[in-house]
Structure 1
Amino acid sequence: MQRNKNIYFVYLMIIIILLLLFFTALFIGSSYINPLKIVQYLLFNKQLPKANLIILTEIRLPRILLAIMVGAGLALAGTVFQGVIANPMVDPYIVGISAGAGTGVMLALFLGIPLVFSHLNLLPIFAFAGALLTVFIVYQLALVGNKLPVLTFLLSGVALSFILNSIMSFLMVLRTENLQQLVFWLMGSLAASSWSEVKMILPYFMLASLLIFYYGKDLNLILLGEENAAHLGLEVEKSKLIFLTAASLLTASVVSVSGSIGFIGLVVPHIARLMIGPDHRKLLPLSALLGAAFLLFADTIARTLMAPLELPVGIITALAGGPYFIYLLRKKSKNIW
């Protein structure tokens, strides 16, 4: 009972922090908006000056919501990959999924393929195709018999990431007219956020997240070992396929609007695991909340630290995640599961 109370307290604190970050991100930036006026507008529908209203509703609010979805999506995907592979050093960025999704998007843009069909934006579909193909290639490269050695899986993902990043760099050279925008996209940026991006990824984000939450308890069985999970009645390969597909779709949808933002899927699940333990029924929602809060905080810093100059948010997350990855490598002799 006491443990459940502690877990609920952790949830409550993260939600409060997320709400505070949400409100703070609304009024700070290159153009300051009085917080009291925002409260009056949100709670009492009191009118704001037109310039402030446009900044609030058309620039900051969609960007904040996009940061929340991207952060939550990357953290969820990272938790799934770490659970399926049973290793805390796996995330969509490291194993090449982000690079695969990015390559899919870049190829679609480079080839001039129509990206809208019957009012449905197809950009996340191309990202998903690239991500899924990357998962398949990495899985096949790492597979030894019927087993998947973790080190081989990681190294295969890193190697394929280099190849895919080279392809994206080559495409950038050929498409120099949008070079600055593409560079920002590759480094990870939410600068081009709008309501259209929010609407574009929402269906894919919701579908993938619901699949992960619905089957989340099966990750606990997978961590017991494939043989034990099979004895307990779990169709291991089917579950792996569901998780890898859902995590790839989730990664692809958010990468299609934010670019490659690294290390959230690595750092956040590990912190969440330290806070409440390895039970994925509780770990998955906490990872999503922490990921949303972390990226919202990082993006707020990225757009205000050197305002009016804006930093790609991928730089902030890499500065935080890189040292943490080294810490995990140094701590590999300990069992943190």
Structure 2
Amino acid sequence: MLIAHRIAFLIPLVVALVFAIALSATLGYLHVPIADVFVILWSKLISQAPPADLDPVASTVVADVRMPRILAAVLVGGLLGVSGAVFQAILLNPLADSYTLGISTGAAFGASLVIVLQIFGLSLPAGISIPIFAFVGGAATLAVVLFLAAGDRSLSSTSLILAGVIVSAILSAAIGFLKFLADEQVGLIIFWLMGSLAGAAWSNIGLLIPASLAGTLVAIYFSRDLNIMATGDRAATSLGINTVRLRTILLTVSTLMTALAVSVSGIIGFVGLIVPHMLRHIVGPDNRLLIPLSFFTGGLLLLIADTITRAILPVEVPIGVLTALLGGPFFCILFKRRQQHGKSDF
């Protein structure tokens, strides 16, 4: 029954995502017919030259400029969606996402540090150093949060959230100091912190695909345990689940997913908050269905937002700004509903 339920939701969502990818590839300064897009992508997939009757400029634009950015939007949105679903399940809080624990801020600090070091003349390859430093920043933030919350041996949600708020505040101040050090070139950090997929390349896709696949599969593997943990730590422990071990594993995996997403796109907020919460109202709280749907829905949502800012708006707005403008009111409404109707939907 569950498999049929998954298929009933997944197939239409996957079809919609494929259509959105193809449609997005047609939009931009140079319009390319959707039929030509499929021909170009098929030629790229089988490593053959596009047909001679196709415009070579259109082939280059679609295959080497638009598609890396489109796929990066899908994969980054998927990573943020899955990590948000996991964070909400672990913390039993529909307002939780990677920002609640300061993970995104830590990854942003690591990447900003690379930019400042480059400004001061330290030679570092940006394509490699930014992902590495963002990864280390996110992982180090998680380690500090776990250390601060370790006084509570059960790693309760309250302890983790409070530790995340404390660390995030410190890192925000540290990022402000890096902006001060950057002086006239502070725009490099500010633009990156606002989020953008303009610099996405095929090398980024090579990193995002295995991370998305591995992280999502790990989350799905533990989805049944997450369902049981929603009944409370005492009940989960009585059923043989090591809640501390489960939280540590999934927090680590979700942190790595978030750090990699931030290293490619900068800070893109609210995707990890909106997507799981919206899906929970549509398909229910079962994480076995919620987690895979969060990947595809997160990818579709971020792709739509990036297409709007890239091809529809007269000026390209940083995608992090757009998602914040859309997600901020949603967050406010969700917060007021929680105050009026109780704690959560779990």
- Structural RMSD (CA): 2.5
Which of 51, 54, 63 is the matching residue for 1:46?
A: 51
Identical-pair percentage: 36
What is the one-letter code of the residue matched to 2:220?
F
Distance change in 2, residues 1:60/1:110 (3 Å): same
Alpha-carbon distance in 2 for matches of 1:105, 1:209: 24
CA drift of 1:150 comes to 4.2
Deviation at 1:277, TM superposition (A): 1.1
CA 1:199–1:181: 2 relative to 1, 3 Å: farther
Asked if 1 retains the 8 angstrom alpha-carbon contact of 2:139 and 2:255, the reply is yes
Question: What are the residue-to-residue correspondences of 1:225-244 with 2, within 5 Å?
Answer: 225-244=232-251
1: CA distance, partners of 2:154 / 2:75 = 34
Contact 2:154-2:243 at 8 Å conserved across structures: no
Match of 2:137 in 1: 130
C-alpha contact 1:99 1:164 (8 A) present in aligned 2: yes
Query: Partner of 1:282: helix, strand, or coil?
Result: helix
Measured against aligned partners, the alpha-carbon deviations of 1:66-113 in whole angstroms (never above 9, x if no partner) come to 011100000111111111111111000233110111112222343357
State the Cα distance separating 1:200 from its structure 2 match. 3.4
Contact residue 204 and residue 250 of structure 1 kept, 8 A:
yes
1:326 to 309, 329, 332: 332
The answer on 1:79 being equivalent to 2:58 is no
**Which residue of 1 is the match for residue 47 of structure 2?**
none
> Which residue is equivalent to 1:30?
29
Q: How far apart in 2 are the matches of 1:58 and 1:4?
A: 37
Cα distance, 1:14 vs structure 2:
1.6
Counterpart of 1:39 in structure 2: which amino acid? Answer: F
Alignment of 1:1-337 (within 5 A): 1=1, 7-42=6-41, 45-47=50-52, 48-111=54-117, 121=128, 123-141=130-148, 145-146=152-153, 150=157, 153-176=160-183, 178-307=185-314, 309-332=315-338, 333-334=341-342, 335-337=344-346
Equivalent pair of 1:124/1:201 in contact (CA under 8 Å): no
Moved more, 9-18 or 246-255: 9-18
Normalising to structure 1: TM-score of the pair? Answer: 0.89
For residues 124 and 212 of structure 1, do their structure 2 counterparts lie closer, same or farther at Cα, with a shift above 3 Å needed? farther
Partners of 1:163 and 1:312 in 2: CA distance:
25
Distance 1:266 1:186, change over 3 A: same
Q: Displacement, 1:202? A: 3.6
Q: Secondary structure at the match of 1:331?
A: helix
Change (3 A) 1:264 1:275: same
Instruction: Give the count of matched residue pairs.
Output: 332
